[in-house]
Amino acid sequence: MSNRTRWKRVVLKMSGEALGGSASHQAIDAAEVERIADEICRVRSELDVEPAVMIGGGNIWRGTSVAGSKVERATSDAMGMLATVINALALQDAIERKGQATRVLSAIQMAEVAEPYIRRRAIRHLEKGRVVIFAAGMGRPYFTTDTSAALRAAEIEAEALLKGTHSGVDGVYDMDPRNHEEAVKFDAINFMDVVSKDLRVMDMTAVTFCKDNKLPVVVFNVKEPGNILRVLSGQEIGTLVK
Ligand code: UDP
């Protein structure tokens, strides 16, 4: 594997489910968090990448889709944002146990457990070699962590957004490969086609934001060990959307 990186500063978006264990059925699986933490440490130390991570909360609570929930939407979304904080702390703990400094920057103020998100501070942490973990999305209801990741990427002038999938789908297909054997994967696709074909890459708000701000996105399977390193060392896995 080459030790040259494709992009220097990136935002890695992972769903909360990426931290879960398919075998253990735990919302946060210790072995899985360890593995992801290890890969993040390696891209920091071996490739000299400045990684910022936006972690979702769907393994614990997702605002829109908890079956039977009658919780008011804004409250439900607040619960989802708090779920992301739990995941962020789990990831921080695992990364720091490996000796890599991290900072959790939360969009909802909770000074006892995380720093508040301040754009310049995020950039400073990255410049100093710390891994930044964004928690609580963008701190507003009706948004997702996909859109929050795109926003943060633009704010910190990241060169790319890496969207790690957890469902076994390893990129963007013309139809859902889980239901259609004949589905064809795109190695690369442009944002216009993603929008016009209504392809499920990320939520549309995130897609149009990346398009407007010329932020390339790589959709790849983050559950496959080694893939975070592969994407950043220039191997063409997943789908590049630009
Ligand atoms: N959320 C929100 N505003 C944000 C980010 C997240 O309200 O800026 C809430 C929303 O309810 C969402 C939940 O937090 O469903 C968890 O985030 P997401 O669904 O993006 O997590 P993932 O599916 O990536 O695990």
For residue 58, give the ligand 1 atom closest to its CA: 25
The closest-lying atom of ligand 1 relative to the alpha carbon of residue 14 is: 24
Q: In the chain, what percentage of residues exceed pLDDT 90?
A: 89
Question: Which whole-number Å values give the CA distances from 139 to 67, 80, 81, in the listed order?
Answer: 23, 10, 7
| Residue of 62, 71, 162, 203 with the most ligand 1 atoms within 8 Å of its CB, for mutation | 62
**The token pair that represents 216 in the structure block:** 């390339």
Kindly tell me if the per-residue pLDDT of 191 is higher than 70: yes
What mean pLDDT is predicted for residues 140-149?
97
Please tell me the distance from the alpha carbon of residue 5 to that of residue 26, in angstroms, as a whole number. 33
Tokens encoding 238: 């997943």
Span 117-136, average pLDDT: 98
For the Cβ of 134 lying below 6 angstroms from any atom of ligand 1, the answer is no
Q: How far is the CA of 16 from the centre of ligand 1 (A)?
A: 9
Residue to probe by mutation, ligand 1, list 77, 146, 166, most atoms within 8 Å of CB = 77
Question: Token digits for 86?
Answer: 């739990």
- Tell me the pairing of strands 172-173 and 185-186: antiparallel
Q: What is the mean pLDDT of the chain?
A: 94
Name the token pair of 72: 């008011």
Average pLDDT of span 1-10 = 81
Report the pLDDT averaged over residues 122-143: 98
Of all atoms in ligand 1, which is nearest to the CA of residue 18? Answer: 25
pTM of the model: 0.96
Give the pLDDT confidence score for residue 164 in this predicted structure.
96
Q: Given this model, what pLDDT does residue 5 score?
A: 79
With a cut of 80, say whether residue 69 has pLDDT above it: no
Nearest C-alpha neighbor of 44 from the set 99, 110, 91:
99
Q: List, in order, residues 6 or more apart from 175 with CB less than 8 Å away.
A: 182, 183
Compute the distance from residue 73 Cα to the ligand 1 centre, in Å. 12
Grouping H, G, I as helix, E, B as strand and the rest as coil, residue 102 is strand
Is the per-residue pLDDT at 68 higher than 80?
no
Q: Is 62 in the pocket of ligand 1 (CB under 6 A)?
A: yes
Ligand 1 atom with the smallest distance to the CA of 62 is 15
Question: 242 burial class (0-12, 13-18, 19+ CB within 10 angstroms)?
Answer: middle
pLDDT for the residue 23: 80
Is pLDDT above 60 for 3? Answer: yes
Task: Check residue 167 and give its pLDDT.
Answer: 87
Dist CA 78 CA 86 (whole Å): 13
